[in-house]
Every structure is written in C-alpha cells, then in structure tokens.
Amino acid sequence: MIFETLKKQLPGVKRAELMAKHTTFEIGGPAEYFYIARAQKNVVKAIRVAKKLQLPLFIFGGGSNLLVSDEGIKGLVVRMKSNVKVFPVFSGNRIKAYSGVSLGNVVSFSTKKSLKGLEWAGGLPGTYGGAVRGNAGAFGGEMKDSLMQVQALDHHFVLRNFTHEQCGFSYRSSVFKEKNWTILSATVKLQKGHKKELQAIASSRVQYRKDKHPLEYPSAGSVFKNVPVEQITETFKQEFWDKVKQDPFPIVPAAWFIIGAGLAGKKIGNAQISKKHSNYIVNLGGAKAKDVLALIDVVKKKVKEKYGILLEVEVQYIGK
C-alpha cells in the first residue's frame, strides 16, 4: 500500500534499490524506497510525502564521503541529482546552483565566466550541496570562503535562508552537517579573474588527484580529517614538521600518521587502506561496509596508541 502511494506521488520511485549503485564506494545494501529528485521542487515534494506516510527519510547527493550499511536503509531515500549544469550567473559575479548539481560543473562554469574563487576545487567529487555541507577544502581553499547564502530545510523540514554567518562553518563541517539539515541550493560570490589562468589551475588540481589519489578503485574519498598541528604533541612535532601543509591553517595530512602506524596496504575482506594514498580506503571488489568499519577502527586504535591522536572520521555512515 505504501509503495503504491509513493508511485502515484513520486513517479520513478523504486523499491529495494541497492545503495551500492549510488555511492562512490560502491558499497551499501538496499534502500527500502528510493527516489531521484532532479530539481528542488521534487525534493520538497518527496519530503512532504514521506512526512504524510510517516516514513524515515534520508537525503543525499553524489554519494561520495558516504558509507552505507550492508543491511541498507529503512524508509525513503532521496538522491538529489541533476543534469542541469547551473542556474544563471546573477549580478555578474554570483552563481546560484541546485544542491544536486555536480561540484565539477559549478567549478567549470565559474572558470568559463572568468570568475575566481572555486578553481581550487577542480577534481573534487560529489555534489555542490555536499561540498557546502562539509565545507569541502583543498589547496588552502574552502567552500566557506565564497559562500554568500544557503537555502536549506531544518529538522522540521521548514525552508530557511541562511546567511554566511548562520552557516556555522568550521573545518570540514557546517551547521547543516552537524544538525543533518538538507541543503537545497547555495549562492557563491566570486571575483573577476582571467579565464585561462583559472582553467589552468582547475585542470592542474584535476591532474594532481589523478596522480596522487587511488582513483582506479571505488572509495569514499578521504576517510579521516587532517590533523591540526596544535593537536600534535611536542614529542612528534619534529617527526612531522616537513609534512605540514596549509589547509587552510597548519595541518599534517592524516595519511602520514596512518603510514607511521604501519597500516598502508592493510586489508580486511576486500577493503584495503590504499598504498597510494593512505587516507583512502578502497573497495577492491565486493567489499562490505563491515570491512571498512573494521579498518577504520584499526586505524583509530593504532594511531592513538602510537601518536596519542584520535583521528576524526570524515566519512558519514548511514543505515541499519
């Protein structure tokens, strides 16, 4: 009865859709009900229907930075996905885009319009909304640097507009991530730049990821947040001093602690800590969520034992 009602209200809804088909990890059991929302109005409708039917609701974007339980997810799962590149530029230097648009499309659009401020994100996977939610960053840049306004649904699914100050941005986080609120769209304010220079920077970031990251295997991206230098004890600061990077403040990449703990290449089941980039756990083929979780536990334990640092998980786990 519930599925029949969903089909009438949400054309294209599926039952028992494997989440492994919709995450970059290619891991995850079935969603009880699954729906792709290709526009903001479809997200709002899906929320209204789920509330009426009293169904648990999970909304996500590109499926990166996400690990789904082997048992799957109860209720209605909504994926925000759009083939539309971006909404038009407003006032010459502002871009507003639906959350389900890929971040890569927004970056490409901005450089074509000679707008500076997002070129550092070249090659970052996932959706625009996901990048805002997690305050994605690389090469010293962060989403918060150019964010002007966000339109999102709070825990009561009330539509609200958030100013930059209200977004509560912090290192790889925001009020939306902390409170599990749903971003529908966001507006960035950029600066005028030189098209060829911006496109060259974005392309170099894409190439860097191809060279340094294990893109040949499915993964969720970086598993752990990088470690602020201030959290490293004096005993080990000297050991890692030549590894310090600005991201955007002084940090040591989590990968170096994992390597130092002797865990590069460690496998559990068909999940493996990448030898190419040790802050990635890769799916060698048929890996289970339980294998990934077990590796995460091993890393946290070993790094804590050796360096006194408790690595913070960046990947979101969802499901039964």
Last residue within a domain, chosen from 80, 113, 136? 80
Are 194 and 95 contained in the same domain? yes
Q: Are residues 239 and 259 in the same domain?
A: yes
Three-state DSSP state, 15: strand
pLDDT tens, position by position, 293-317: 999 999 999 999 999 999 999 999 9
Q: Which residues touch 238 (CB under 8 Å, ≥6 apart)? A: none
Q: Which of 172, 219, 274, 278 is catalytic?
A: 172
Question: Is residue 173 among the annotated active site residues?
Answer: no
Distance of CA 53 to the CA centre of its chain: 29
282 and 244 both lie in a single domain: yes
Whole-model pTM: value is 0.89
- Across the chain, how many H-helices and E-strands are there? 9, 22
Task: Report the SS3 class of residue 210.
Answer: helix
Q: Last residue of some domain: 56, 80, 104? A: 80
6 assigned to some structural domain? yes
- 204, part of any domain: no
Region 54-81: what's the mean pLDDT?
94
Same domain, 253 and 299: yes
Q: Which two tokens stand for residue 13?
A: 């809804």
Residue-wise pLDDT for 218-238, tens only, equals 999 999 999 999 999 988 988
Q: Does residue 203 form part of some domain?
A: no
Task: Kindly indicate the confidence band of residue 136, based on its pLDDT and cuts at 50, 70 and 90.
Answer: very high
Q: What is the CATH number of the domain that holds 54?
A: 3.30.43.10
Active site residue 79: no
According to the model, what pLDDT value does residue 90 have?
67
Nearest Cα to Cα of residue 315 among 25, 18, 17, 20:
25
Structural domain for 123, as ranges? 89-198
Q: Within this chain, do residues 15 and 107 fall inside the same structural domain, yes or no? A: no
pLDDT of residue 85: 58
Across the range 213-217, mean pLDDT stands at: 93
The whole-angstrom distance between residue 59's C-alpha and the CA centroid of its chain comes to 13
**What confidence score (pLDDT) does residue 86 get?**
61
| C-alpha neighbours within 13 Å on the C-beta side of residue 298 | 20
Taking CA atoms, 285 is separated from 217, 219, 269, 281, in Å, by: 8, 11, 10, 12
pLDDT the model gives residue 40: 85
Q: Is residue 210, in this structure, part of any structural domain at all?
A: no
**DSSP E strands, 159-291:** 159-163, 182-189, 191-192, 219-222, 227-228, 245-246, 250-252, 267-268, 271-273, 280-283
- The pLDDT score that the predictor gives to residue 157 is 81
- d(CA 173, CA 133) in angstroms, rounded, equals 7
Whole-angstrom distance, CA of residue 211 vs CA of residue 126: 19
- Selecting among 26, 119, 142, 314, the annotated active-site residue is 314
Domain boundary among 45, 80, 115: 80
- 96 and 189 part of one domain: yes
Same-domain check for residues 68 and 96 = no
Q: How far apart are CA 184 and CA 207, in angstroms?
A: 30
* Residue 283 and residue 224 share a domain: yes
**What DSSP state is assigned to residue 217?**
S
Give the CA count within 13 Å in the CB-facing half-sphere of 13: 24
| 204 catalytic per annotation | no
In a domain, 113, yes or no: yes
pLDDT of 200 strictly over 70: yes
- 273 belongs to a structural domain: yes
What's the pLDDT tens digit per position in 279-293? 999 999 999 999 999
Is residue 108 domain-shared with residue 168, that is, in the same domain? yes
Catalytic residue among 108, 222, 274, 278: 222
Q: Please indicate, yes or no, whether residues 37 and 73 belong to a single structural domain of this protein.
A: yes
Q: Are residues 140 and 241 in the same domain?
A: no
Beta-sheet pairing, 14-18 with 30-37: antiparallel
User: Could you tell me the pLDDT band of residue 268, with boundaries at 50, 70 and 90?
Assistant: very high
CATH number at residue 249: 3.90.78.10
pLDDT tens profile 90-131? 677 999 999 989 999 999 999 999 999 999 999 998 899 999
* 211, part of any domain: no
Claim to verify: residue 188 and residue 242 sit in the same structural domain: no
Judged against a pLDDT cut of 70, whether residue 181 lies above it is answered with: yes
Count of domains for the chain: 3
Q: Is 208 domain-assigned?
A: no
Phi/psi at 123 (5° precision): 90, -10
pLDDT at 84: 66
- CATH number of the domain that 99 lies in? 3.30.465.10
